[in-house]
Protein backbone atom coordinates (compact mmCIF):
# COMPACT_ATOMS: atom_id res chain seq x y z
CA UNK A 1 0.00 0.00 0.00
CA UNK A 2 1.22 3.47 -0.86
CA UNK A 3 -0.07 6.79 0.49
CA UNK A 4 1.14 10.01 -1.13
CA UNK A 5 0.23 13.62 -0.33
CA UNK A 6 0.28 15.91 -3.37
CA UNK A 7 0.03 19.65 -3.69
CA UNK A 8 -2.24 21.34 -6.26
CA UNK A 9 0.43 20.89 -8.98
CA UNK A 10 0.70 17.16 -8.17
CA UNK A 11 4.11 17.54 -6.60
CA UNK A 12 4.61 14.96 -3.82
CA UNK A 13 4.90 16.32 -0.30
CA UNK A 14 5.15 13.00 1.57
CA UNK A 15 4.81 9.28 0.97
CA UNK A 16 4.40 6.23 3.15
CA UNK A 17 4.48 2.61 2.02
CA UNK A 18 3.41 -0.56 3.83
CA UNK A 19 3.14 -4.13 2.64
CA UNK A 20 -0.37 -5.30 1.75
CA UNK A 21 -1.51 -8.14 3.96
CA UNK A 22 -3.17 -10.97 2.05
CA UNK A 23 -6.65 -11.78 3.31
CA UNK A 24 -6.48 -9.14 6.02
CA UNK A 25 -9.98 -8.44 7.31
CA UNK A 26 -11.75 -5.38 5.95
CA UNK A 27 -12.03 -3.69 9.35
CA UNK A 28 -8.31 -4.06 10.03
CA UNK A 29 -7.43 -3.10 6.46
CA UNK A 30 -9.51 0.08 6.60
CA UNK A 31 -7.91 1.04 9.89
CA UNK A 32 -4.44 0.64 8.35
CA UNK A 33 -5.43 2.76 5.33
CA UNK A 34 -6.67 5.56 7.59
CA UNK A 35 -3.53 5.30 9.73
CA UNK A 36 -1.31 5.56 6.63
CA UNK A 37 -3.14 8.59 5.25
CA UNK A 38 -2.98 10.39 8.59
CA UNK A 39 0.72 9.58 8.94
CA UNK A 40 1.41 10.88 5.43
CA UNK A 41 -0.47 14.10 6.20
CA UNK A 42 1.53 14.53 9.40
CA UNK A 43 4.78 14.00 7.52
CA UNK A 44 3.73 16.58 4.93
CA UNK A 45 2.67 18.99 7.70
CA UNK A 46 -0.80 19.22 6.15
CA UNK A 47 -3.73 19.60 8.52
CA UNK A 48 -6.97 17.73 7.68
CA UNK A 49 -8.86 20.96 6.97
CA UNK A 50 -6.51 21.65 4.04
CA UNK A 51 -7.30 18.34 2.29
CA UNK A 52 -9.42 19.02 -0.79
CA UNK A 53 -10.07 15.37 -1.50
CA UNK A 54 -8.80 11.82 -1.11
CA UNK A 55 -8.46 9.51 -4.09
CA UNK A 56 -7.99 5.79 -3.59
CA UNK A 57 -7.37 3.01 -6.08
CA UNK A 58 -8.31 -0.45 -4.87
CA UNK A 59 -8.51 -3.91 -6.45
CA UNK A 60 -11.61 -5.75 -7.53
CA UNK A 61 -14.96 -4.79 -9.04
CA UNK A 62 -16.50 -1.72 -7.43
CA UNK A 63 -19.84 0.01 -7.22
CA UNK A 64 -18.52 3.33 -8.53
CA UNK A 65 -21.60 5.31 -7.51
CA UNK A 66 -21.46 4.30 -3.84
CA UNK A 67 -17.70 3.71 -3.55
CA UNK A 68 -18.18 0.11 -2.41
CA UNK A 69 -15.74 -2.76 -3.01
CA UNK A 70 -18.03 -5.51 -4.27
CA UNK A 71 -15.56 -8.38 -4.35
CA UNK A 72 -11.76 -8.32 -4.13
CA UNK A 73 -10.78 -12.02 -4.38
CA UNK A 74 -7.08 -11.47 -3.63
CA UNK A 75 -7.94 -9.53 -0.47
CA UNK A 76 -10.99 -11.52 0.60
CA UNK A 77 -13.09 -8.33 0.87
CA UNK A 78 -16.75 -8.26 -0.10
CA UNK A 79 -19.29 -5.43 0.09
CA UNK A 80 -16.93 -2.99 1.84
CA UNK A 81 -18.29 0.62 1.95
CA UNK A 82 -14.89 2.18 1.40
CA UNK A 83 -15.98 5.71 0.49
CA UNK A 84 -18.34 6.08 3.43
CA UNK A 85 -15.91 4.64 5.99
CA UNK A 86 -12.91 6.65 4.82
CA UNK A 87 -14.95 9.83 4.48
CA UNK A 88 -16.21 9.45 8.04
CA UNK A 89 -12.75 8.75 9.42
CA UNK A 90 -10.90 11.46 7.48
CA UNK A 91 -13.53 14.18 7.27
CA UNK A 92 -12.80 14.82 3.59
CA UNK A 93 -14.44 13.95 0.25
CA UNK A 94 -13.30 10.52 -0.94
CA UNK A 95 -13.30 9.29 -4.54
CA UNK A 96 -12.92 5.52 -4.95
CA UNK A 97 -11.79 3.86 -8.19
CA UNK A 98 -10.26 0.59 -9.31
CA UNK A 99 -6.50 0.55 -8.80
CA UNK A 100 -5.67 -0.28 -12.41
CA UNK A 101 -8.14 2.35 -13.63
CA UNK A 102 -6.31 4.94 -11.56
CA UNK A 103 -2.95 3.62 -12.76
CA UNK A 104 -4.05 3.94 -16.38
CA UNK A 105 -5.44 7.40 -15.66
CA UNK A 106 -2.10 8.36 -14.15
CA UNK A 107 -0.28 7.18 -17.27
CA UNK A 108 -2.79 9.06 -19.43
CA UNK A 109 -2.35 12.30 -17.51
CA UNK A 110 1.36 12.20 -16.74
CA UNK A 111 3.10 9.19 -18.30
CA UNK A 112 3.46 6.76 -21.18
CA UNK A 113 -0.03 7.31 -22.64
CA UNK A 114 -0.24 11.06 -22.20
CA UNK A 115 -3.21 12.55 -24.08
CA UNK A 116 -4.11 9.36 -25.97
CA UNK A 117 -7.73 9.07 -27.09
CA UNK A 118 -8.28 5.52 -25.83
CA UNK A 119 -5.90 3.77 -23.43
CA UNK A 120 -6.15 0.14 -22.35
CA UNK A 121 -4.10 -0.87 -19.32
CA UNK A 122 -3.11 -4.42 -18.40
CA UNK A 123 -1.21 -4.81 -15.13
CA UNK A 124 -0.04 -8.35 -14.26
CA UNK A 125 0.70 -8.76 -10.56
CA UNK A 126 -0.73 -11.09 -7.91
CA UNK A 127 -3.73 -11.07 -10.25
CA UNK A 128 -4.13 -9.28 -13.56
CA UNK A 129 -5.93 -5.98 -13.50
CA UNK A 130 -7.32 -4.09 -16.46
CA UNK A 131 -8.50 -0.53 -16.94
CA UNK A 132 -9.37 1.93 -19.66
CA UNK A 133 -9.43 5.69 -20.15
CA UNK A 134 -11.58 6.90 -23.03
CA UNK A 135 -11.50 10.55 -24.10
CA UNK A 136 -10.16 11.65 -20.73
CA UNK A 137 -12.55 9.67 -18.53
CA UNK A 138 -12.15 6.36 -16.74
CA UNK A 139 -14.41 3.94 -18.58
CA UNK A 140 -16.97 2.09 -16.46
CA UNK A 141 -20.43 0.64 -16.57
CA UNK A 142 -23.48 2.47 -15.26
CA UNK A 143 -22.74 1.37 -11.71
CA UNK A 144 -19.84 -1.09 -11.93
CA UNK A 145 -16.17 -0.93 -12.80
CA UNK A 146 -15.31 -3.07 -15.80
CA UNK A 147 -12.44 -4.04 -18.14
CA UNK A 148 -11.69 -7.10 -15.99
CA UNK A 149 -9.09 -8.34 -18.46
CA UNK A 150 -7.73 -10.83 -15.95
CA UNK A 151 -10.96 -12.80 -16.11
CA UNK A 152 -11.13 -13.17 -19.87
CA UNK A 153 -11.02 -16.89 -20.55
CA UNK A 154 -7.93 -17.70 -22.63
CA UNK A 155 -7.66 -21.43 -21.88
CA UNK A 156 -11.01 -23.24 -21.68
CA UNK A 157 -10.77 -25.97 -19.09
CA UNK A 158 -7.48 -24.52 -17.87
CA UNK A 159 -6.24 -23.91 -14.31
CA UNK A 160 -8.62 -22.81 -11.59
CA UNK A 161 -8.68 -19.05 -11.05
CA UNK A 162 -9.21 -17.30 -7.73
CA UNK A 163 -12.61 -16.17 -9.02
CA UNK A 164 -13.78 -19.79 -9.19
CA UNK A 165 -13.71 -20.20 -12.98
CA UNK A 166 -11.20 -22.12 -15.06
CA UNK A 167 -8.75 -20.83 -17.65
CA UNK A 168 -8.89 -17.10 -16.89
CA UNK A 169 -5.95 -14.98 -18.02
CA UNK A 170 -5.11 -14.40 -14.36
CA UNK A 171 -4.81 -18.15 -13.76
CA UNK A 172 -2.13 -18.57 -16.43
CA UNK A 173 -0.31 -15.23 -16.66
CA UNK A 174 -0.30 -13.51 -13.25
CA UNK A 175 2.91 -13.30 -11.22
CA UNK A 176 1.53 -16.02 -8.97
CA UNK A 177 0.99 -18.33 -11.96
CA UNK A 178 4.44 -17.52 -13.37
CA UNK A 179 6.09 -18.07 -9.97
CA UNK A 180 4.34 -21.43 -9.54
CA UNK A 181 5.56 -22.64 -12.94
CA UNK A 182 9.04 -21.31 -12.20
CA UNK A 183 9.13 -23.13 -8.84
CA UNK A 184 8.30 -26.39 -10.60
CA UNK A 185 11.12 -25.79 -13.08
CA UNK A 186 13.52 -25.09 -10.21
CA UNK A 187 12.40 -28.26 -8.43
CA UNK A 188 13.06 -30.28 -11.61
CA UNK A 189 16.56 -28.83 -11.88
CA UNK A 190 15.76 -26.86 -15.05
CA UNK A 191 16.42 -23.45 -13.48
CA UNK A 192 19.59 -23.68 -11.39
CA UNK A 193 20.03 -19.93 -11.01
CA UNK A 194 16.49 -19.45 -9.72
CA UNK A 195 16.85 -22.41 -7.40
CA UNK A 196 20.04 -20.96 -5.92
CA UNK A 197 18.46 -17.53 -5.46
CA UNK A 198 15.01 -18.46 -4.15
CA UNK A 199 14.62 -22.21 -4.01
CA UNK A 200 11.04 -23.21 -4.68
CA UNK A 201 9.43 -20.81 -2.21
CA UNK A 202 6.72 -18.86 -4.06
CA UNK A 203 7.03 -15.98 -1.60
CA UNK A 204 10.67 -15.52 -2.63
CA UNK A 205 10.12 -15.82 -6.38
CA UNK A 206 9.45 -12.15 -7.00
CA UNK A 207 9.56 -10.27 -10.28
CA UNK A 208 13.15 -9.10 -9.84
CA UNK A 209 14.30 -12.63 -8.96
CA UNK A 210 12.71 -13.98 -12.14
CA UNK A 211 14.38 -11.27 -14.22
CA UNK A 212 17.76 -12.02 -12.61
CA UNK A 213 17.37 -15.75 -13.29
CA UNK A 214 16.69 -15.05 -16.97
CA UNK A 215 19.70 -12.72 -17.13
CA UNK A 216 21.83 -15.44 -15.54
CA UNK A 217 20.83 -17.94 -18.24
CA UNK A 218 17.76 -19.86 -17.02
CA UNK A 219 16.17 -20.32 -20.46
CA UNK A 220 13.19 -22.21 -19.10
CA UNK A 221 12.25 -19.24 -16.90
CA UNK A 222 12.37 -16.96 -19.94
CA UNK A 223 10.09 -19.39 -21.76
CA UNK A 224 7.63 -19.43 -18.84
CA UNK A 225 7.52 -15.63 -18.73
CA UNK A 226 7.15 -15.35 -22.52
CA UNK A 227 4.31 -17.88 -22.49
CA UNK A 228 2.53 -15.76 -19.88
CA UNK A 229 3.09 -12.62 -21.96
CA UNK A 230 1.69 -14.40 -25.04
CA UNK A 231 -1.48 -15.19 -23.12
CA UNK A 232 -1.75 -11.48 -22.30
CA UNK A 233 -1.28 -10.69 -25.99
CA UNK A 234 -4.11 -13.09 -26.85
CA UNK A 235 -6.46 -11.31 -24.45
CA UNK A 236 -5.30 -7.90 -25.69
CA UNK A 237 -6.10 -8.86 -29.28
CA UNK A 238 -9.68 -9.60 -28.32
CA UNK A 239 -10.02 -6.25 -26.60
CA UNK A 240 -8.47 -4.45 -29.60
CA UNK A 241 -11.27 -5.81 -31.77
CA UNK A 242 -13.83 -4.42 -29.33
CA UNK A 243 -12.55 -0.92 -28.53
CA UNK A 244 -9.57 -0.19 -30.84
CA UNK A 245 -7.32 1.48 -28.25
CA UNK A 246 -4.51 3.55 -29.68
CA UNK A 247 -2.23 2.83 -26.69
CA UNK A 248 -1.95 -0.29 -24.55
CA UNK A 249 -0.03 0.26 -21.31
CA UNK A 250 1.55 -2.69 -19.52
CA UNK A 251 2.34 -2.16 -15.86
CA UNK A 252 2.98 -3.97 -12.61
CA UNK A 253 6.07 -5.55 -11.09
CA UNK A 254 6.65 -8.17 -13.79
CA UNK A 255 6.61 -5.58 -16.56
CA UNK A 256 8.75 -3.18 -14.55
CA UNK A 257 11.36 -5.92 -14.07
CA UNK A 258 11.28 -7.08 -17.72
CA UNK A 259 9.81 -4.25 -19.86
CA UNK A 260 11.45 -5.17 -23.16
CA UNK A 261 10.44 -8.82 -22.93
CA UNK A 262 6.83 -8.00 -22.11
CA UNK A 263 6.35 -5.20 -24.62
CA UNK A 264 7.88 -7.23 -27.47
CA UNK A 265 6.06 -10.47 -26.67
CA UNK A 266 2.64 -8.92 -26.05
CA UNK A 267 2.96 -6.84 -29.22
CA UNK A 268 3.88 -9.86 -31.34
CA UNK A 269 1.13 -12.04 -29.88
CA UNK A 270 -1.55 -9.36 -30.22
CA UNK A 271 -0.61 -8.36 -33.77
CA UNK A 272 -0.61 -12.01 -34.85
CA UNK A 273 -4.23 -12.35 -33.69
CA UNK A 274 -5.95 -9.14 -34.78
CA UNK A 275 -7.51 -8.47 -38.16
CA UNK A 276 -5.04 -6.93 -40.62
CA UNK A 277 -6.82 -3.57 -40.45
CA UNK A 278 -5.92 -3.29 -36.75
CA UNK A 279 -2.23 -4.25 -36.76
CA UNK A 280 -0.94 -0.70 -37.15
CA UNK A 281 -3.69 0.94 -35.09
CA UNK A 282 -2.21 0.42 -31.64
CA UNK A 283 1.10 0.47 -29.83
CA UNK A 284 2.11 -1.38 -26.69
CA UNK A 285 4.21 0.52 -24.12
CA UNK A 286 5.53 -0.09 -20.63
CA UNK A 287 4.16 2.12 -17.87
CA UNK A 288 6.46 5.04 -17.16
CA UNK A 289 5.43 6.01 -13.63
CA UNK A 290 5.96 2.77 -11.70
CA UNK A 291 4.03 2.76 -8.40
CA UNK A 292 3.37 6.48 -8.73
CA UNK A 293 0.92 5.83 -11.57
CA UNK A 294 -1.84 4.62 -9.26
CA UNK A 295 -1.24 7.29 -6.61
CA UNK A 296 -1.00 10.12 -9.15
CA UNK A 297 -4.02 8.82 -11.05
CA UNK A 298 -6.09 8.49 -7.88
CA UNK A 299 -5.21 12.04 -6.83
CA UNK A 300 -5.92 13.49 -10.28
CA UNK A 301 -9.18 11.54 -10.58
CA UNK A 302 -10.25 12.78 -7.15
CA UNK A 303 -9.57 16.35 -8.21
CA UNK A 304 -11.70 15.86 -11.32
CA UNK A 305 -14.58 14.24 -9.47
CA UNK A 306 -14.93 15.68 -5.97
CA UNK A 307 -17.30 18.37 -7.28
CA UNK A 308 -19.31 15.97 -9.42
CA UNK A 309 -19.60 13.51 -6.53
CA UNK A 310 -20.86 16.23 -4.20
CA UNK A 311 -23.49 17.33 -6.76
CA UNK A 312 -24.60 13.72 -7.30
CA UNK A 313 -24.99 13.19 -3.56
Give residue-wise pLDDT tens across range 165-207. 999 999 999 999 999 999 999 999 999 999 999 999 999 999 9
19 versus 11: the higher-pLDDT residue is 11
Pairwise CA distance, residues 238 & 266, whole Å: 13
Enumerate the H helices of the chain as residue ranges: 26-43, 82-90, 99-110, 169-173, 175-187, 192-198, 207-216, 219-243, 253-257, 259-271, 292-312
Q: Which of 74, 98, 122 is the last residue of a domain?
A: 98
**So what's the pLDDT on residue 162?**
85
- Percent of the chain exceeding pLDDT 70 equals 96
Predicted confidence (pLDDT) per residue in 136-155, tens digit:
999 998 888 899 999 999 99
Looking at 66, 98, 130, which one is the last position of a domain?
Answer: 98
Residues 257 and 205 in one domain: yes
Q: Could you tell me if 221 and 119 lie in one domain?
A: yes
pLDDT at 308: 63
Same domain assignment for residues 121 and 78:
no
Would residue 119 count as lying in a domain?
A: yes
For residues 212 and 73, membership in a common domain is answered with no
Nearest Cα to Cα of residue 206 among 189, 223, 219, 194: 194
- For residues 69 and 144, state if they share a domain: no
Report if residue 299 sits inside a domain: no
Highest mean pLDDT: which range of 35-49, 50-64, 271-285 = 271-285
Q: Tell me, what's the pLDDT at 28?
A: 85
Question: Residue 18 falls within a domain, yes or no?
Answer: yes
Q: Residues 78, 130: one domain? A: no
In a domain, 306, yes or no: no
Answer yes or no: is 300 within a domain. no
Contact between 41 and 48 under an 8 Å Cβ cutoff? The reply is yes
193 assigned to some structural domain: yes
Put simply, whether the predicted model's pTM sits higher than 0.85 gets the answer yes
Residues 75 and 121 in one domain: no
- Amino acid 199: pLDDT: 95
Give mean pLDDT, residues 226-255.
97
CATH number of residue 37's parent domain: 3.30.420.40
Residue 309 has pLDDT above 70, yes or no: no
The whole-number pLDDT of residue 22 equals: 59
138 and 46 fall within a common domain: no
State whether 74 and 41 are in the same domain: yes
9 and 158 assigned to the same domain: no
According to DSSP, the residues that pair with 14 across neighbouring strands are 5
Angle at 112 between CA 110 and CA 117, to 5 degrees: 85
Mean of the per-residue pLDDT values of the chain:
92
Query: Has residue 140 been placed in a domain?
Result: yes
Residue 311 has pLDDT above 50, yes or no: no
How many folded domains does the chain comprise? 2
* pLDDT band per the 50, 70, 90 thresholds, residue 313: very low
> Are residues 277 and 134 part of one domain?
yes
132 within some domain: yes
What is residue 59's predicted lDDT score, i.e. its pLDDT? 84
Can you tell me the distance from the alpha carbon of 250 to that of 266, in angstroms, rounded to the nearest whole number?
Answer: 9
| Structural domain range at position 215 | 112-286
Residues 137 and 64 in one domain: no
Q: Which of 50, 76, 98 is the last residue of a domain?
A: 98
**What pairs with residue 283 in β-bridges?**
247
Amino acid sequence: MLAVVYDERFQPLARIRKRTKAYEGAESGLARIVEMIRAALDEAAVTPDRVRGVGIGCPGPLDVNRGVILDAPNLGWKQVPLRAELGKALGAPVVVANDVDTGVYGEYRFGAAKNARCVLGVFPGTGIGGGMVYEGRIFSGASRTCVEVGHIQVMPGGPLCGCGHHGCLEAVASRLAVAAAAAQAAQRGQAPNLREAAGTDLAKIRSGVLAAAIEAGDKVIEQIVRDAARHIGTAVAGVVHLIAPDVIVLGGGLVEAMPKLYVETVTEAAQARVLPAYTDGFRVVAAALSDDATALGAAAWARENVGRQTEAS
